[in-house]
Structure 1
């Protein structure tokens, strides 16, 4: 009987040592995984902050980020006003000769139209223009009229040279 108790004691001791070693190994593995996850989270947060700061820099010149311009349009809903201005500007593309704000004639039968628009503040818009083979940019002065279409005036234009296909 004493030998059976001794064997059970030794067996339980070995079992406890095995459990301790196994638990320690699992704990170290989980600690490493947690540290790796924390490092990845930090990296993603840093990347997210970089992208957020780049977005703020990119939108520095925009109607939505300009307090003075927003004060100027205090009686308007900025998203609705922005949509109205963009729609009116893009509607000018329907002209058979091209957008009248672009002072260039059609090239190779392709009229110049406005593709993208960025409202800089309460007076200026920068827009990308395209004719199929050429593209450029125009700076537009605008004035919002109450219950009337917006007045647009081209201030300056730039036309980029054709890009050769490189193969």
Structure 2
């Protein structure tokens, strides 16, 4: 009797071990397939987002080599690095927000009690800037020309401005 009990326990242990191994093996394979599917989806999403970002930055001084080459000159003393120019131009334009009548480069006169100030700036190339402005209630956009003068000052000129309806 003791022998048959030991034999049954050994068979039961072997079957339990076999079923446990089979279960865990299939679970690992399932998790690996799920991981591969998730990784593939994430790679596809990352590629799609990268492509959209590249399309969005097509009109950008950072990506436009022709516009960047405009600032390179024959005389190495006059070369302007566009990486340093972008924050300087942006800061210079945003400095005009402190004007009591609002930023003059919004192309709009003050309508209500609040003044128009520029919120966001995107430098498109070596000549154009697009900016978003508002007075807290009314929003608009402006297309500006900018010039880097010989004395390295920056001047702006409003090309066109528009206001959105409330």
Which TM-score band (shorter chain)? 0.7 to 0.9
Paired with 1:139 and 1:53, the residues of 2 have a C-alpha distance of 26
Paired with 1:108 and 1:102, the residues of 2 have a C-alpha distance of 15
Indicate conservation of the 8 Å contact 2:133/2:141, yes or no.
yes
Superposition TM-score, scaled by structure 1 size: 0.86
Q: Does 1:120 align with 2:124?
A: yes
RMSD: 1.9
Superposition TM-score, scaled by structure 2 size: 0.86
Change (3 A) 1:10 1:109: closer
Indicate conservation of the 8 Å contact 1:88/1:149, yes or no.
no
Size of the aligned set, in residue pairs, is 160
Secondary structure of the corresponding residue to residue 105 of structure 2? coil
User: What stretches of structure 2 of length at least 5 have no aligned partner?
Assistant: 73-78
The residue that corresponds to 2:86 in the other structure is 82
Please report how far the alpha carbon of residue 157 of structure 1 lies from its aligned counterpart in structure 2 after TM superposition. 0.9
Q: Deviations over 1:105-146 (max 9, x none)?
A: 212121111111010001000001112221111100111124
Indicate conservation of the 8 Å contact 2:127/2:146, yes or no.
yes
Secondary structure of the corresponding residue to residue 106 of structure 2? coil
The residue that corresponds to 2:36 in the other structure is 38
User: What stretches of structure 1 of length at least 5 have no aligned partner?
Assistant: 163-167
Please report how far the alpha carbon of residue 8 of structure 1 lies from its aligned counterpart in structure 2 after TM superposition. 4.8
Paired with 1:34 and 1:110, the residues of 2 have a C-alpha distance of 59
Paired with 1:158 and 1:100, the residues of 2 have a C-alpha distance of 14
